[in-house]
Amino acid sequence: MKACLANLITTRIRQDVQSMHAYAIQESTGLVKLDAMENPHRLPAALQAHLGQRLGALALNRYPDGRINDLREALAEYAGMPEGFDIMLGNGSDELISLLAMACDVPGASILAPLPGFVMYGMSAQLQGLKFIGVPLSPDFELDEAAMLAAIAEHQPSIIYIAYPNNPTANLWDDVVIDRIIAAAPGLVVMDEAYQPFASRSYITRLAQEPGRYGHVLLMRTMSKFGLAGVRLGYMMGPKALIAEIDKVRPPYNISVLNYECALFALEHADVFAEQAQDIRAQRTLLVDALQALPDVKTWKSDANMVLIRVANAAKTFEGMRSCGVLVKNVSKMHPLLADCLRLTVGTADENKQMLAALKKSL
């Protein structure tokens, strides 16, 4: 049986898939979970009860219906979608990234993104059989404009991803540099604003002001950082004609009735989530100040709900913090520029206090 199964895997599963590593999710039971940039706040009890009633009344025996368009309209209004744009929904941003690779899989196609960055850009390219070009950031995690423009000229990528702010470095890049990259792009440019609730600015302002200049730009966001990581809902906005073509590869009924009803409920109570985001931003300021006061820690500025730090020994510090009951993300192996770096999610005041205590003890 084992021999037959091994032969089946060897002969029927793609060789490149066999050599890949699955997306790793850390075991977090019993730990203060500060490794995945989740909103640490739950819904107030009254809203939990209200949402439960709404979800319980749904027709789960039926496929999703036209109410999905109510969510598209609500998201468009919430985001301030520019005139002439349309909106497409995905089962998280991950699905949208995969669908973009599928839609743009023409002969010679490639995907380009700065590194270090979100791993799904490269993974989606590999799974679709596309070439992925990673362009290293500067040592301070800024865009290397010359290297980006040279790579664009050489490879003529079908898709360029610009995370705004970036993961795991948490910084916003220079808009002037981004505009030059957009101008040089021969294909699509995707502005990934997953962490928009915590950022000091959004690229949607520029798209709305000069729509003719950004006709090949898509703007992608997620409800995960809004506070619905468990719901799995991403959305992407762009010129109507462009969205219409990409939407053709979207699976039918990719958004469940539970997903869209949760998202609609959250948007109806957007003020609650806005207060949560404000608290996270305030806690981020306090956390960064405390980290910058530590003599053996290098801390970078953040426009997201995470903070990147560098310590003397990331592996030792990570294990020390975990033994203290606090789980963060060791990103030191992701890219040479991230040597001895840890990524800390901004939690509640109490969680951040526990994280700082664990960090100090583990340095």
pTM: 0.94
Domain boundary (213, 240, 268) is at: 268
pLDDT of the residue at 70: 97
* Residue 16, in any domain of the structure: no
Angle at which helices 270-292 and 349-362 cross, to 10°: 30
Question: Which range of residues forms the domain containing residue 243?
Answer: 61-268
Residues 6+ apart with CB under 8 A from 29: none
Same domain, 275 and 263: no
CB 114 within 8 A of CB 140: no
Asked if 85 and 236 touch (Cβ cutoff 8 Å), the reply is no
112 and 148 housed in the same domain: yes
Q: State the pLDDT at residue 123.
A: 94
Q: Are residues 312 and 191 in the same domain?
A: no
Number of domains in the chain: 2
Q: Would 112 be classed as within a structural domain?
A: yes
Q: 174 in a domain, yes or no?
A: yes
Same domain, 118 and 210: yes
| 123 and 247 both lie in a single domain | yes
The answer to whether position 49 is within a domain reads no
Specify the residue for token string 């309209």. 73
69 in a domain, yes or no?
Answer: yes
Residue 250 shares a structural domain with residue 355: no
Same domain, 203 and 179: yes
Specify the pLDDT at position 61: 96
Q: The domain that contains 73 carries what CATH number? A: 3.40.640.10
Give the pLDDT score at 149: 98
Question: Residues 6 or more apart from 246 whose CB is under 8 A from it?
Answer: 88, 99, 100, 103, 236, 238
Task: Answer whether residue 10 is part of any domain.
Answer: no
The whole-number pLDDT of residue 293 equals 96
> Interhelix angle for 145-155 vs 175-184, to 10°?
10
Asked, for residue 155, whether it belongs to a domain, the answer is: yes
Question: Which of 268, 300, 323 represents a domain boundary (last residue)?
Answer: 268
pLDDT per residue, tens digit, the chain (363 aa), is: 677 887 788 888 888 888 877 777 788 889 999 999 999 999 999 999 999 999 999 999 999 999 999 999 999 999 999 999 999 999 999 999 999 999 999 999 999 999 999 999 999 999 999 999 999 999 999 999 999 999 999 999 999 999 999 999 999 999 999 999 999 999 999 999 999 999 999 999 999 888 788 999 999 999 999 899 999 999 999 999 999 999 999 999 999 999 999 999 999 999 999 999 999 999 999 999 999 999 999 999 999 999 999 999 999 999 999 999 999 999 999 999 999 999 999 999 999 999 999 999 999
Query: 260 and 314: one domain?
Result: no
| Domain end among 268, 303, 332 | 268
Q: What are phi and psi of 213, to 5 degrees?
A: -80, -20
Q: Is residue 6 part of a domain?
A: no
Q: Which two tokens stand for residue 5?
A: 């199964």
Q: For position 3, what pLDDT does the model report?
A: 73
- Does residue 85 share a domain with residue 27? no
Indicate which CATH number applies to the domain containing 331.
Answer: 3.90.1150.10
Whether the CB-CB separation of 335 and 166 falls below 8 Å is answered with: no
Please check whether residues 276 and 264 belong to one and the same domain. no
The reply to whether 248 and 331 lie within a common domain is no
Same structural domain, 90 and 236: yes
